[in-house]
A and B are shown apart, each in its own frame.
Chain A
Amino acid sequence: MRLSGRFGRFGGAYVPEILMPALEQLEAAFLDTKEDHAFQKELGELLTHYAGRPTPLYRCRNLLDAGEAEIWLKREDLLHGGAHKTNQALGQGLLAKRMGKRRLIAETGAGQHGVATALTGAVLGLKTRVYMGAVDMARQEQNVFRMRLMGAEVVPVTTGSQTLKDAINEALRDWSASYETTHYLLGTVAGPHPFPTMVRDFQRIIGDEARAQLLEARGTLPNLVVASVGGGSNAIGIFTAFIPDPEVRLLGVEAGGDGLETGRHGATLNRGRPGVLHGAYSFVMQDEEGQIVESHSISAGLDYPGVGPEHSFLRESGRAAYTTCTDDEALDAFGLLARREGIIPALESSHALAAALVEARKAAGPLTILVNLSGRGDKDLGTVLQRMGSPEGAS
């Protein structure tokens, strides 16, 4: 490896020895393409003409009742595929081709990363297989259909909790037999080095754009940047550009589920301990003996007992803070954005929005908040309908 793959004491590459050559090959391809004009040009063209970048930055008109706070939304929900996942799936897909791989494998929880991988496979001509927990397949039926429409094979995972973490296990097992022809297109800033660094670099376009857009529109940096954190790719994506700006507060929002006190949540950084899951040393939700415990969230994308190692580092160094919001608080924010702004956010992004609303309401004076609206809520309509019933009559 050419880089350390560490963020302070977090990160590393904890994988079976057989995967090390594949990770080294990936790191080399990734580093080589950073300065490769042709590669960057092709990725840039795909992001612009296929995926729809840059995404808009929108200042909410009606969301807040009073006060001097402003909430600005980075509209990743408008990206092709419906979420920020497309940014880095295209980047990794191009890397896979450059390495001569003919096949992509991926894990997915809510299905958003699976959809991003499926569209990448379709547009780049790579055979695609997506591992998905059987429980997740049942609750995200439409995304399963979307992936299959775009030619991906979706394989149900029936081991363990049958959710995202088990899908990652199964993808790693596949890769340990198929690495010669196959690229594992991991969906977040977790996993072994170089994934956390590589996925961050492909996702930082979110924050780079938003920073420039806000400076252009408002002439200032935000006071606060808020994003939801499951594995943590949309948060790293919007945080990275602001890390060198000490006056900008960074706030990650984890899944509070039914409430931290119930134990049914996905608040890895708030309630976990350091350990090794899926190839990295980072915060992990685990029991006394080091067994990984199951997470819970109404948002499948935040329903993960691990977190990217750079978030563990940002938390420990104090550069970013991490809070939580419950399923109910996220649902309230979901409904409010729909009614007041005509935007239906993903339940993941609704967590960020809920925390932003808390900050805005307690602000004594002017406060500029930038929220990563990481995805759209179409995929969540079934979940919300089941939970809230029909919105008619709701205030």
Chain B
Amino acid sequence: MSRYARLFERLAAKREAAFIPFVMVGDPDPAGSLAVIRTLALAGADALELGLPFSDPVADGPVIQAAATRALDAGVTRRQCWEIIAAVRAEFPDLPVGLLVYANLVCHREPAAFYADAARAGVDSVLVADLPVLEAGPVAAAARAHGVAPVFIAPPNADADRLRAIAEAGEGYTYVTSREGVTGADSMLRRDQSALIAQLVEFGAPPPVLGFGISTPDQVRAARAMGAAGVISGSAVVRLAAEGGDLAGFVREMKEATY
């Protein structure tokens, strides 16, 4: 049984949702990044979503773009990213770790080579932000061949056919975006995604996790009410980490809203 499956089974038994913070690996530098990720895990994050820095992140808003730029400007290498992830894996053996990347990081060489590196570092899943299901076949096959779960995004404009394809192609969890546009913290959830989530469940999709714009405990409760099995909070966490704010306090507050 995969780490995600064990996590969602355990949470379902307790009627809890997962709180999954996102940060950029290597932001602002390798040591600082590892410290941030450890803080998130020790404070009670149910799983981690980690970005690999990319020069042209078209699905990201200004906060996460800036995090990638900080890491690249600090000269963080891919090898250092894998080392940080491997260190997290060694310290937290049961914690699901997902990666969020862009297609060129996977496709600029053989995808199998990327997934071999990811598997070796202890990564459980990879979401390629600019890889729609239609293009994903060979890449997803390479992921599965290395025991890495391919995660897909279910956007608010997906019709039933697209949701069915997403449900069939994905493993680990399904990333449901709360709205259109790119990543960035909002003060409230603008759309009710319960119908879309119900449809994903009906199609047998991996557990639906809501992301984009999530920054408050009220939003976490609203996401639960929509039927989400968890939430991902990215820009809010990245900004707090960059400002040196109380990350552990934020994780505890958000996690409490999942009960």
Shortest B194–chain A CB gap in Å is 19
Residues in A whose Cβ lies below 8 Å from that of B153:
16-18
When each residue 122-146 of chain B gets 1 if its CB lies under 8 Å from chain A and 0 otherwise, what string results?
Answer: 0000000111111100000000000
The answer, yes or no, to whether B166 is at the interface (CB within 8 Å) is yes
Contact A276 B108 (CB under 8 A): yes
> In the complex, which of the residues B77, B78, B104, B130 contacts A16, with contact meaning CB atoms closer than 8 Å?
B130
Contact A16 B56 (CB under 8 A): no
Minimum distance in angstroms from B139 CB to a CB of chain A: 10
Q: Are B182 and A12 in contact (CB under 8 A)?
A: no
Interface residue? B59 (CB, 8 A): yes
CB of A17 within 8 A of CB of B158, answer yes
Q: A173-B61, A176-B181 are in contact. Are A13 and B132 (CB under 8 A)?
A: yes
Which residues 135-168 of A sit at the B interface, judged by CB distance below 8 A? 159-160, 165-166
Task: Report Cα–Cα, A336/B210, bound state, in Å.
Answer: 61
B144-202 CB contacts (< 8 Å) to partner A: 152-159, 162, 166, 177, 180-182
B162→A20 contact, CB < 8 A: yes
In the complex, the chain A residue whose C-beta lies closest to that of B133 is A17
Could you tell me if A286 and B154 are in contact, using CB atoms closer than 8 angstroms? no
Q: Which residue of B lies closest to A21 (CB)?
A: B157
Pick the residue among B54, B65, B134 that contacts A1 (CB under 8 A).
B134
Task: Decide if the interface of chain B is mainly helix, strand, loop or mixed.
Answer: loop
**B248 interface hit (Cβ, 8 Å):** no
Is B12 an interface residue, CB under 8 A from the partner?
no
Instruction: Report B-chain residues with C-beta under 8 Å of the C-beta of A179.
Output: 157, 180
Query: Mostly helix, strand, loop or mixed at chain A's interface?
Result: mixed
Contacts of B155 in A (CB 8 A): 16-18
Against B, the Cβ 8 Å flags (1 = close, 0 = not) of A334-361 are: 0000000000000000000000000000
User: For chain A residues 1-43, which have a beta carbon within 8 Å of chain B?
Assistant: 1, 12-21
Assuming A13-B132, A292-B55, is B104 touching A18 (CB within 8 A)? no
B58 at the interface (CB under 8 A from A): yes
Does A236 have its Cβ within 8 Å of any Cβ on chain B? no
Chain A residues with CB below 8 A from B55, complex form: 160, 291-293
What residues of A have a CB within 8 angstroms of the CB of B133 in the complex? 17
Which B residue's beta carbon lies closest to that of A18?
A: B155
A12–B77 CA distance with the chains assembled, in angstroms: 28
B105 within 8 A of A: yes
Q: Could you say which of A13, A172, A274, A289 contacts B58, with CB atoms under 8 Å apart?
A: A172
Interface residues of A in 263-297 (CB under 8 A from B): 273-279, 281, 284, 286, 289-293
Interface residues of B in 60-76 (CB under 8 A from A): 61-62, 65, 69, 72
Task: Decide if A323 is an interface residue (CB 8 Å cutoff).
Answer: no
Asked if A215 is at the interface of the complex by the 8 Å CB criterion, the answer is no
Q: Given known contacts A16-B155, A18-B155, A173-B61, is B182 in contact with A277 (CB within 8 Å)?
A: no
Q: Using Cβ atoms and an 8 Å threshold, which residues of chain B touch A18? A: 153, 155-157, 177, 180
Question: Do B59 and A176 touch across chains, with their CB atoms under 8 A apart?
Answer: yes
Q: Find chain B residues with CB under 8 A from A166 CB.
A: 56
Asked whether A159 and B65 contact (CB < 8 A) given A15-B130, A16-B155, A286-B104, the answer is: yes
Within 8 A of A (CB), among B84-130: 102-105, 107-109, 129-130
Quick one: which of B62, B104, B166 contacts A17, CB cutoff 8 A?
Answer: B166
Distance of A99 from chain B, by nearest CB (Å): 15
Complex contacts, A276 vs chain B, CB 8 Å: 102-104, 107-108, 130
**Within 8 Å of chain B (Cβ to Cβ): is A363?**
no
Number of residues on chain B facing chain A (CB within 8 A): 41
Q: Does A240 contact B (CB under 8 A)?
A: no
Q: Would you give the 0/1 interface string for B227-245, flagging 1 where the beta carbon is closer than 8 Å to chain A?
A: 0000000000000000000
Contact partner of B108 (CB less than 8 A), chosen from A159, A178, A273, is A273
B107 touches A16 (CB 8 A): no
A124 within 8 A of B: no
Chain A residue contacts of B134, Cβ below 8 A: 1, 13, 20
**A290 and B152 in contact, given A16-B58, A16-B130 (Cβ under 8 angstroms):** no
Contact with A12, one of B62, B135, B180 (Cβ below 8 angstroms)? B135
Which residues of chain B come closer than 8 Å to A286, judged between CB atoms?
Answer: 104, 108
Q: Do A177 and B152 have beta carbons less than 8 Å apart?
A: no
A contact residues around B129 at 8 Å (CB): 16
- CB within 8 Å for A289 and B59 given contacts A18-B155, A21-B157, A279-B130: no
Q: How many angstroms from the CA of A172 to the CA of B60 in the assembled complex?
A: 10
A24 to B166, CA, bound (A): 17
Question: Bound state CA distance, A173 and B180, in angstroms?
Answer: 10
> Is A55 at the interface (CB under 8 A from chain B)?
no
For the complex, what is the distance from the CA of A278 to the CA of B55, rounded to whole Å?
Answer: 12
A176 touches B182 (CB 8 A): yes
The residue that B135 contacts in the complex, of A14, A160, A178, A292, with Cβ under 8 A, is A14
Listed from nearest, the 3 A-B pairs whose CB atoms lie closest are: A177-B181, A290-B108, A18-B155
The contact sample of 16 A-B pairs, CB cut-off 8 A, is A15-B132, A16-B130, A17-B132, A17-B133, A17-B154, A17-B162, A21-B157, A21-B158, A165-B56, A176-B58, A179-B180, A276-B130, A277-B56, A278-B58, A289-B77, A292-B104
Q: Which residues of B does A touch, CB under 8 Å?
A: 54-59, 61-62, 65, 69, 72, 77-78, 102-105, 107-109, 129-135, 152-159, 162, 166, 177, 180-182
- In the complex, besides A169-B56, A289-B108, 5 extra interface pairs with C-beta distance below 8 angstroms are A13-B134, A21-B157, A173-B182, A279-B130, A289-B105
